[in-house]
Chain A
Amino acid sequence: YVLTQPPSESVAPGKTATITCGGNNIGSESVHWYQHKPGRAPVLVLYYDTDRPSGIPQRFSGSNSGNTATLTISRVEAGDEADYYCQVWDTGSDHPVFGGGTKLTVL
């Protein structure tokens, strides 16, 4: 199973960032999203498409339908600049699959 993410996205502060994750019928899968800043541990920002772990701002939201899952970051802040990865569980092979990551730049 292959997950496809755009290598980069850019957004101005205060605007909305949209990061996509494409996969064959990904809408039938549970998609999880991670934020990874340089030199830091990755952080889970969304699980099961739309659920936020405690401590993750409501500005982070998600959707998943058809062949595309989306991570949306509203009112983007400079601190949101990071790499973002999507992940699913390949039930056929019983192992995780990561997308290639998207570098979000805050202009």
Chain B
Amino acid sequence: QITLKESGPTLVRPTQTLTLTCSFSGFSLSTSSVGVGWVRQPPGKALEWLALVFWDDRYRYRTSLRNRLTIKKDTSRNQVALTMTNMDPMDSATYYCTHLLWYGESYYFNSWGQGTLVTVSS
């Protein structure tokens, strides 16, 4: 059974740096065709992928946020961390950690954590 759990602050001040950690079980990030990603949903808006890390050490960042995001994996501890700098109230959202699988010609989001609500406010 795959589980993912997000942890980190619920309140961040504008301009501060957000660090979220995803702790997962039921799979290994060293297994072929596996990835872990972060997806967020601002209130009333659609899902928005942020950053992905794959079993083969490839990384992908959302183009519009590339300069603010860093994703790092710790395979031995089954954790993935996301750092987002210069937080703004517009970054207030529920942040989800996800498990990705490759099938055919596509990765898809196989499992999701429960999400963590992050509010950016002074």
Q: Is B113 an interface residue (CB 8 A)?
A: yes
Q: Which residues of A pack against B, CB within 8 Å?
A: 29-30, 32, 34, 36, 40-44, 47-48, 53, 85, 87-89, 91, 94-96, 98-101
Contact B60 A94 (CB under 8 A): yes
Q: Given known contacts A41-B96, A42-B96, A98-B46, is B109 in contact with A30 (CB within 8 Å)?
A: no
- With contacts A41-B96, A42-B112, A94-B60 taken as known, whether A89 is within 8 angstroms of B47 at the C-beta atoms is no
Instruction: Point out residues on B near A: beta carbons under 8 Å.
Output: 37, 39, 41, 46-49, 52, 60, 62, 96, 103-115
Residue of A30, A42, A44, A96 most packed against chain B (CB within 10 A): A96
Contacting residue for B110 out of A30, A44, A94, A98, CB 8 A: A44
Cα(A12)–Cα(B49), bound, Å? 32
Contacts A41-B112, A41-B115, A42-B96 known; A48 to B47 CB distance under 8 Å?
no
A and B contact pairs by CB, cutoff 8 A, 26 listed: A29-B106, A30-B103, A30-B104, A30-B105, A34-B47, A36-B41, A41-B96, A41-B112, A41-B113, A42-B39, A42-B109, A42-B112, A44-B108, A44-B110, A44-B111, A48-B103, A48-B106, A85-B47, A88-B106, A89-B107, A91-B106, A94-B60, A96-B37, A98-B49, A99-B46, A100-B46
